[in-house]
Amino acid sequence: MPKQRLITARRVVVKLGSNVITAKNSLNLEVIESISRQISSLMDRGIEVILVSSGAMAAGLRKMQMMRRPDEIPKRQAIAAIGQSGLMNAYEKSFSECDKKVAQILLTAEDLNNRKRYLNARNTLHTLMEWKVVPVINENDTIMVEEIKLGDNDNLAAMITLLMDADFLFILTDIDGLYDKDPRQFSDAKLIPKVTTFEKEIEEYASHIPGTLGTGGMLSKIQAARKVTSSGIPMIVARGNSQNVLLRLFDGEEHGTYFVPRKEKMASRKCWIAYALVPKGSLVIDQGAVSAVRKNGKSLLPIGVLSVEGEFEQGAAVFFKTSDNEIIGTGLVNYRSFDINLIKGLKSSQIEACLGGKHYDEIIHRDNLVLKKDCG
Ligand SMILES: Nc1ncnc2c1ncn2[C@@H]1O[C@H](COP(=O)(O)OP(=O)(O)O)[C@@H](O)[C@H]1O
Ligand SMILES: N[C@@H](CCC(=O)OP(=O)(O)O)C(=O)O
């Protein structure tokens, strides 16, 4: 293999997918041991590693000798609980053989939505890394219901990468990387070694249909790549059971698909607004406001707001869009939807008379506003 891309990252996130972590009848201990050894060896070189591991559901199914996920939610959650403890046991054992300790972190979408909990998670992860303990993160499947699930660990891993200001995201799966079409359906599918821009066809290459035990398929890996590369962080998708894959990547060998990062890095607060929050409504804005926020980097003022969609409180994340439904970006509102309905179209100097008081001139301050065009 040619050596082309020496990785100099100091803090990385590694994500292991369900298919690669499970064998025929249970967890694939060989893979778990190999990845643990590789992570441990990176840590011994002074690199900080955070592991996002799937496998709870797959391991639980195998343990209960079930062929597929049950339809009932309580049963699914019970399966995840059974599998998660086995998963952690396996990591506990394999990392202790390398003299490393592990910590289990189970997160929900709500934890990432709430800024206080989001920052708390960050502090805990920092402490673990200071103590040279390996954080093993998964979604808390046992309490999540379908509607509010993060859904796939590729996007969770991307959010952890942003949360922790990591320098690199490795997504390890059961295939060599991104192909130009679904290799399960097309025998002539070709591996794409490098993705520089997210043209529409990139998403068309990928089927969202995962492998037998996976969740998001290649599509969720591309979404994850969008998130991190738009924030200036590179990502590689590679085969997790290929021998010493992480160490070889660190030594500069080319494997898998490399997603090239954008040059400009988005501030971490803006990453949180863009990727962790679920918008609660929309503001339809006029062309003047579109140019002000898009071209001139200005805040969104009431005068540019035409209408309000949905009901939301002060501080909520909302989309702002044109009357043709083109989404321009996302931001945190200084006023609740009820008040925006009253002040829309007004000058900022008229807010006080209208509402009987004024805390802010802007509906969305530019520090709390992220443009879609900056999100890859
Ligand atoms: N264009 C593509 N390139 C590579 N793999 C693809 C593509 N389209 C669909 N896939 C499928 O996506 C699967 C990986 O996704 P998934 O099963 O969710 O893995 P994981 O469990 O590692 O997250 C591969 O096994 C492959 O069959
Ligand atoms: N939280 C789930 C993993 C869901 C998931 O994203 O799976 P995958 O697409 O295989 O990475 C579990 O542990 O089973």
Instruction: Tell which atom from ligand 2 comes closest to the C-alpha of 214.
Output: 10
| Average pLDDT value over all residues in the chain | 90
d(CA 17, ligand 1 centre) in Å = 10
Residue 323 is part of a domain; what is its CATH number?
Answer: 2.30.130.10
In a domain, 6, yes or no: no
Our count of domains for the chain comes to: 2
The pLDDT profile of the chain, 376 residues, written as one tens digit per residue, is 444 566 888 999 999 999 899 887 689 999 999 999 999 999 999 999 999 999 998 889 988 988 888 888 889 889 999 999 999 999 999 999 999 999 999 998 888 888 888 889 999 999 999 999 999 999 998 876 655 567 689 999 999 999 898 999 999 999 999 999 888 888 999 999 999 877 777 877 876 666 666 666 888 999 999 899 988 899 999 999 999 999 999 999 999 999 999 887 788 788 888 888 889 999 999 999 999 999 989 999 999 999 999 999 999 999 999 999 999 999 999 999 999 999 999 999 999 999 998 889 999 999 999 998 887 6
User: How far apart (Å, rounded) are the C-alpha atoms in residues 63 and 44?
Assistant: 34
211's tokens: 């492998």
Pair (165, 71) in one structural domain: yes
CB of 88 closer than 8 Å to CB of 102? yes
Pair (71, 198) in one structural domain: yes
In a domain, 236, yes or no: yes
In a domain, 113, yes or no: yes
251 is in an annotated binding site: no
Pair (76, 186) in one structural domain: yes
Residue 216 is part of a domain; what is its CATH number?
Answer: 3.40.1160.10
What's the domain range around 309? 279-374
User: How far apart (Å, rounded) are the C-alpha atoms in residues 246 and 262?
Assistant: 23
Ligand nearest to the CA of 143: 2
In a domain, 54, yes or no: yes
Domain ends where: 270, 299, 317? 270
**Which alpha helices (DSSP H) does 11-52 contain, by range?**
18-21, 29-44
d(CA 208, ligand 1 centre) in Å = 8
Domain ends where: 209, 238, 270? 270
Is residue 48 within 6 Å of ligand 2 at its C-beta? Answer: no
pLDDT at position 209: 67
User: How far apart (Å, rounded) are the C-alpha atoms in residues 145 and 143?
Assistant: 7
Pair (179, 241) in one structural domain: yes
Pair (181, 286) in one structural domain: no
pTM of the model: 0.86
pLDDT at position 148: 53
Ligand 1 first shell, C-beta below 6 A: 17-20, 54, 173-175, 178-179, 181-184, 205-207, 210-211, 214-218
173 is in an annotated binding site: yes
Pair (322, 228) in one structural domain: no
Pair (164, 254) in one structural domain: yes
Ligand nearest to the CA of 27: 2
Is residue 167 within 6 Å of ligand 2 at its C-beta? Answer: no
Question: What are the Cα distances from residue 169, in Å, to 17, 162, 193, 295?
Answer: 13, 10, 16, 31
ipTM score over 0.95, yes or no: yes
Closest Cα to atom 4, ligand 1: which residue? 178
Pair (125, 265) in one structural domain: yes
In a domain, 5, yes or no: no
In a domain, 181, yes or no: yes
Pair (193, 297) in one structural domain: no
Closest-CA residue to 12 (of 46, 48, 43): 48
Pair (308, 222) in one structural domain: no
Q: Name, in order, each residue with C-beta under 8 angstroms of 245's C-beta and a sequence gap of 6 or more.
A: 38, 172, 238, 239, 255
Pair (99, 184) in one structural domain: yes
Domain ends where: 225, 253, 270? 270
In a domain, 42, yes or no: yes
Pair (150, 99) in one structural domain: yes
What does the pLDDT look like over 97-136, one tens digit per residue? 999 999 999 998 888 888 888 889 999 999 999 999 999 9
CA angle 321, 368, 159 (to 5 degrees): 90
DSSP track, 291-330: HHHHTS-PPBPGGGEEEEES---TT-EEEEE-TT--EEEE
Closest Cα to atom 9, ligand 2: which residue? 215
**Letter for the amino acid at 131?**
W
In a domain, 109, yes or no: yes
Ligand nearest to the CA of 175: 1
What does the pLDDT look like over 320-332, one tens digit per residue? 999 999 999 999 9
